Amino acid sequence: MRTTLDIDERLVEQAVELTGEKSKSAAVSKILEEYVRRKRIEDLLSLRGKLDLDFDWYEFRHMER
């Protein structure tokens, strides 16, 4: 998807260098993927102790779907 963004050129160059990607687009995509992955993990970790997971996992895994 083509998008026009106003991004600090120094940050983009650092992103290319740190990711080892050959293009700016690939570097930005890689960084966005990593950011989204980390935020999802953070969100899951914030649920620690808030979910009741005390049920029969064996039965749950073998239910007909």
Write out the DSSP string of 11-55: HHHHHHHHHT-SSHHHHHHHHHHHHHHHHHHHHHHHTTTTS---S
**Band of pLDDT at residue 61, cut at 50, 70 and 90:** confident
The total number of structural domains that make up the chain: 1
Domain extent at residue 44: 9-61
Task: Please indicate, yes or no, if residue 2 is contained in any of the structural domains.
Answer: no
Assessment of whether the complete model's pTM goes beyond 0.75: no
pLDDT value for 65: 67
pLDDT in tens, 1-55: 899 999 999 999 999 999 999 999 999 999 999 999 999 999 999 988 887 777 7
Task: Please indicate, yes or no, if residue 1 is contained in any of the structural domains.
Answer: no
Task: Please indicate, yes or no, if residue 51 is contained in any of the structural domains.
Answer: yes
Task: Please indicate, yes or no, if residue 3 is contained in any of the structural domains.
Answer: no
Task: Please indicate, yes or no, if residue 34 is contained in any of the structural domains.
Answer: yes
Task: Please indicate, yes or no, if residue 4 is contained in any of the structural domains.
Answer: no
